[in-house]
Amino acid sequence: MIADGTAEIPKAHAWDPDHLRLAVTAAGVALWAWNVDTDAFTMDEHGFELWGLPWRAEVTFEELSAHIHPSDRDRVRSAFAATRAVLGSYETDFRIMIGEEVRWISARGQGEDVGIVGRTMFGIFLDVTGRKQAEEGNELLAGEMSHRVKNLLAIASGLTAITSRTAPNTQDMARELTERLSALGRAHDLVRPLPGGQGDAALLGDLLSVLLAPYDDMGAFKGRIRVAVERMGVGESASSSTSPAASRRRKATNCSPAK
């Protein structure tokens, strides 16, 4: 407190170069400077490590471009050429090749000559490989889930159509359809992969028994369905696609008796 009773305003931390360097290193940030006249790039040590290059005083933008993934190269060149016309900050993500390894790099800086000093622009490189791989994994998962949901909806639609043709009334139709959909759910539980490959693979005979159970109580086929197959696991091969359970279900429904 100050003598007059007012609260003392805390002083801002005085950042010295060592503090900034520690923060930059901890964040995995690589610093770069680009002379827009000579095309020379200067990077800190981490920048050269990020690009898989031996350290030297400077490197040209064209030399760096040679390490950019061919599919991204023209886009990155155009993006850097346009940075001075960008209003405010900019960010460009691209892939680089280090031997057989592919890394995702994010280049960030200030456009509209805001960050230019003595014909030199400044910015940072970040390794965003982990984030990009996670995004690609999420996209792949979303696509796979969409495919599986469409398959299941198609099967449910087929089951509804078949059940409507064989059931004598709405009550029987509701019961039979519920049994068939429940059997499909149990079959998917059998082939669902467990974390870390835990547990034993589902047996093909068990899978078929579950799928065909609702059809073992239908008219002329009542009590006549028997499953006899070689003892065979369907674990990995089944769980790699949506559809071992779904395909068996389709075959069963295609063979169900019609009135």
pLDDT class of 73 with cuts at 50, 70, 90: very high
Q: Domains, the chain, ranges and CATH?
A: 17-127 (3.30.450.20), 134-254 (no CATH)
**107-119: pLDDT as tens digits:** 998 776 655 666 7
The pair phi, psi for residue 120, each rounded to 5°, is -120, 130
Dihedral sign, CA of 110, 111, 115, 119? positive
pLDDT at 193: 59
pLDDT at 170: 87
- Residue of higher predicted confidence among 205 and 81: 81
Among 28-32, 195-199, 236-240, the least confident range: 236-240
pLDDT at 103: 94
pLDDT at 212: 73
- Residue of higher predicted confidence among 198 and 226: 226
**148-180: pLDDT as tens digits:** 889 888 888 888 888 888 788 888 888 888 888
Residue % of the chain over a pLDDT of 70? 68
pLDDT class of 24 with cuts at 50, 70, 90: confident
The pair phi, psi for residue 238, each rounded to 5°, is -75, -45
Would the pLDDT of 7 be above 70? no
Token code pair at residue 192: 């669902």
Would the pLDDT of 69 be above 90? yes
Averaged pLDDT, 112-141: 83
Phi-psi group of 112: left, alpha or beta (phi > 0 → left; psi -120 to 50 → alpha; rest → beta): left
Give the separation between CA 89 and CA 108, rounded to whole angstroms. 7
- Residue of higher predicted confidence among 94 and 249: 94
Which run of H or E residues covers position 43? strand 40-43
Question: Which residues, other chains included, contact 116 with Cβ-Cβ below 8 Å and sequence gap of 6+?
Answer: 36, 84
**176-224: pLDDT as tens digits:** 888 888 888 777 776 665 555 554 556 776 777 777 777 666 555 555 5
Q: What integer best gives the mean pLDDT of the chain?
A: 77
pLDDT at 238: 42
pLDDT at 183: 82
Question: Which residues, other chains included, contact 213 with Cβ-Cβ below 8 Å and sequence gap of 6+?
Answer: 179, 183
Give the separation between CA 47 and CA 51, rounded to whole angstroms. 6
pLDDT class of 36 with cuts at 50, 70, 90: confident
Cβ proximity of 91 and 85 under 8 Å: no
Would the pLDDT of 233 be above 50? yes
pLDDT at 26: 84
Would the pLDDT of 249 be above 70? no
